[in-house]
Amino acid sequence: MINIVELFSGIGSQAKAFERLSRKRNFQVNVLKTCEWDVHAIVAYDYIHNGSALDKRTLELKREDLLKELKKLSLSNDGKVPMKLKTLEAYSTEVLRRIYSAILKTNNMISVKDVKGEDIPNNVTVMTYSFPCQDLSNVGALHGYNKGIDRDAHTRSGLLWEVERILVERQQQNLDMPKFLLLENVTALEAKRHSKNFDEWKERLESLGYVNQVNRLYAPDFGIPQNRKRLLMLSVYVGDDENAREIVKKYFKEHDLNNPNYIKTLNIKMQKLSKFLKLDYTNETYLAEAVLSQPNDTESRKSIWEKNSKILLEDGTMKNIVQTITTKQDRHPNSGNIYFNPNNTKSKYRFLTPRECFVLMGFDEKDYEKIINNNFNSRKNSLFFSRDKMYKLAGNSIVVNMLEAIFEQAMDLNNILYNEE
In this structure, are residues 199 and 242 in contact, taking their beta carbons and an 8 Å threshold?
Answer: no
Same structural domain, 322 and 213: no
What stretch of H or E contains 64?
A: helix 63-70
- The domain that holds 348 is classified in CATH as 3.90.120
One domain for residues 85 and 227? yes
Q: Are residues 387 and 413 in the same domain?
A: no
pLDDT digits over 171-187, tens only?
Answer: 999 999 999 999 998 98
- pLDDT above 70 (res 192): yes
Please indicate, yes or no, whether residues 194 and 157 belong to a single structural domain of this protein.
Answer: yes
Average pLDDT over residues 157-182: 94
Helices and strands (DSSP H and E) totals, the chain: 16, 13
Model pLDDT for residues 73-108, shown as the tens digit of each residue: 999 999 999 999 999 999 999 999 999 999 999 999
Note down the domain range covering 94. Answer: 2-268+400-418
Which residue pairs from 134-141 have beta carbons closer than 8 angstroms and sit at least 24 positions apart in sequence?
134/80, 136/185, 136/186, 136/188, 136/189, 136/194, 137/186, 137/188, 138/186, 138/188, 139/326
pTM tops 0.75: yes
Do 284 and 264 belong to one domain? Answer: no
Confidence class of residue 381 from pLDDT cuts 50, 70 and 90?
confident
Per-residue confidence (pLDDT) for residue 142, from 0 to 100: 47
CB 358 within 8 A of CB 11: no
Predicted pLDDT of residue 140: 52
Same domain, 414 and 381: no
Report whether pLDDT(143) > 60.
Answer: no
Tell me: do 53 and 141 sit in the same domain: yes
Q: Are residues 315 and 362 in the same domain?
A: yes
Angle, nearest 10°, between helix axes 400-418 and 13-25?
60
State whether 39 and 53 are in the same domain. Answer: yes
User: Is the CB of residue 122 less than 8 Å from the CB of residue 175?
Assistant: yes
- Which residue, 101, 96, 69, is CA-closest to 384? 96
Does 370 lie in the same domain as 260? no
pLDDT in tens, 222-258: 999 999 999 999 999 999 999 999 999 999 999 999 9
**Tell me: the pLDDT tens digits for 266-320?**
999 999 999 999 999 999 999 999 999 999 999 999 999 999 999 999 999 999 9
Q: Give residue 139's pLDDT.
A: 55
pLDDT bucket at 160, cuts 50 / 70 / 90:
confident
Q: Tell me: do 389 and 410 sit in the same domain.
A: no
Which percentage of the chain shows pLDDT scores above 70?
96
Rounded to whole angstroms, the Cα distance separating 95 from 170 reads 36
Question: How far from 245 is each of 1, 242, 249, 252, CA to CA, in Å?
Answer: 24, 5, 6, 11
Spatial contact of 310 and 318, defined as CB atoms under 8 Å apart: no
Give me the amino acid identity at 179.
Answer: K
Q: Does residue 217 surpass a pLDDT of 60?
A: yes
Number of domains in the chain: 2
User: Could you tell me which residue, 116 or 145, shows the higher pLDDT?
Assistant: 116
- Residue 128 phi/psi, 5-degree rounding, is -105, 150
**329, 230: one domain:** no
Please report, as a single letter, which amino acid is at residue 380. K
Cβ 270 vs Cβ 264: under 8 Å: no
Per-residue pLDDT, averaged over 16-44, amounts to: 97
* Residue 190: CATH number of its domain: 3.40.50.150
Rounded-to-integer distance, Cα 141 and Cα 155, Å:
13
Task: Note the pLDDT of residue 102.
Answer: 98
